[in-house]
Structure 1
């Protein structure tokens, strides 16, 4: 491939992302400030120094409540803030567990004040120079709402999510200034309602080994539509009632309707009447309802001839193309890379790439900078990759 096919801004982006950082949060407009320091922009051996980044460029690590907090009724131990500060990380992104905060899923069922008070710990993060970024819901839609009316299949979900979010803004909005409404709407609708191997396990393959109910042709679009309305309703709520006094920002991880107020024409033409439509009021609600866009990126896959043969693409260059595509096609929004990572059991590869999903391990795949020993009182053991961020941010590598 011709190394000159990229613009200067894209080459800078490629250099930036090829450095493979532990969670980067980036304003797309800042990419042009970086300069090319390598002869081959497609090389995955590009070297970038900390001093080459804009002074306001921010690095962080994420976790999710569903992956680290365990049972909704068991109070977890305090997280070791030193794990973050020792790495010189400036941001910690995490989620609030819906069912722990509202045990019945709704305000009418009462608030678990102990769960809310737990987030006073965030003061310690802030004292250590770490800024919290909070996802309101990360794959933890309450089972009570699923049993009551089908969860996000029903429009009632919009109101319940709004109530839960408002409770969050009222109780802890004074310390949290950076909000993300919901994690990966696409994954919820696709894995939960098309393929059926994630909650709530609905799809058209009605067998005891796959799904017992569901419709993969219609339900994913209904769910996505209601989730989008839920998120944008919460953004409107925050901007109208809380943003001015609390001084925060709020973002969403779903793009086309947010920028242009409707689904892409190609999608409308293909899905036709299976795709719910927006009313004019809803279009106005959805359009422009974000302060930033979050990108979760792990890989790219392109189809090539023959039709069903797939080829995976290099991780590094494609995340940069994603950013550049967003900039060009969606009016250059503020972009945060809220998740990225490579899971590889080979120790050397883990050290080489240094892009990790979070500060701790996930369920089975060992993403993360720290190993959690479940057989030894959840002892936290720093991996070799945990030592790299502080060295990089101190200019030692």
Structure 2
């Protein structure tokens, strides 16, 4: 595997994160090798990733047996298993976190998705998980639902780093950025140092294109065909423009004036594994070489970028006027971007709930087997 494109992206200021974690990846040294050789400087996780890891991996047998013999419930055992993996990944990335002074070296851990519409439960669970992991370079992933955004403000005010996830629209992104800034303001009023707090806003790309393309295919006109595969990248560049706008506004400038080392909420590109075979399998990575942003990807996409990725001099969709025109053309065709984004947010939360339910079932089966073996 070559890594010219990965090196190019890294040198342009793009932070490359791995969207995967498992006990076998940690124990085998695979994650360490990706850090050392493939420019990986962070890790993201979600319930679907943990579900796959638990179903496929044998590295959990001993720990599951110990948790079973100690009398842990399935719910608490699942909490500990995920925290163990995240803690060990955080330890591997701690040197990067220290070297970059908190810019990179982060691991994200998702809060129980069944709390997505419960602010108080989200805050309680995120606080507990963050304390349990006990590592400063861990972000709690909180969905950008109405309740989740309120939780973001409270968590940030407590000094807990937050990854605001499942963002599909500029409206939700603005709300996420405002929730972060409100948390910084609250932390400042409480006498805390807001410069030590970090956050990222995670935009989903491939899922957005897939959903919009389905709408365009149902229209079936030439004008609709020309928009296929254009919306997610265009939307990402509009998000970058919104980021610039937000951080030149009075609210941020007032905060930054009082605290010159204050760190903005970074943009993170997620859902980067192409879903349509007509598109390049590297398009959501190589075409978003935007300095300061994070791109998280599964290992399959990471390998594809390393093998045949080519980073263009000008990222695709960089023309903001064209990006705005593309979204306006959706309206002309009768496709409501906001309705699609709202539906995708609901589907994403439901998908994680289903994965969480399934992983509990898998774990309960394995714990039951462990009990029978030691009966």
Q: TM-score, normalised by structure 2?
A: 0.44
Bigger relative contact order, structure 1 or 2 (CA pairs below 8 A, ≥6 apart):
2
**Greater share of residues in helix:** 2
Q: TM-score, normalised by structure 1?
A: 0.42
